[in-house]
Amino acid sequence: LKLSEKNLNQVLLLCSEFPPGPGGIGNHAWNLAKNLNNMVSVDVLTISDYADIKECESFDKKEKFNIYRFKRFPISII
């Protein structure tokens, strides 16, 4: 694997919680993304099936980094 200088300027943050949903992990992930974005390009990939879609859209518009949200798909093993 060769890392170019371009690769070193990008971060993909995967998290199971992210504001505006509740949770300490989400707040930590948001602070991490916000501060890293001052140095590198940040994209966040998160689950948001626990937060209102309108609240998420409003929150996301205020951020200076990309936030990609998706919902969990129910999977049954049996």
For residue 1, the model assigns a pLDDT of 44
CA distance 33 to 57: 17
pLDDT score for 48: 84
pLDDT-flagged residues of the chain (< 50): 1
Instruction: Tell me if 61 is assigned to some domain.
Output: yes
- Answer yes or no: is 59 within a domain: yes
Distance CA 50, CA 30 (A): 16
CA dist 66 and 24 (Å) reads: 21
Into how many domains does the chain fold? 1
Q: What is the pLDDT of residue 7?
A: 62
What is residue 5's predicted lDDT score, i.e. its pLDDT?
62
Does any domain span residue 51?
A: yes
pTM, 2 dp = 0.80
Q: Are 21 and 47 in contact (CB under 8 A)?
A: no
Structural domain boundaries enclosing 64: 42-71
Q: Which amino acid is at 41?
A: S
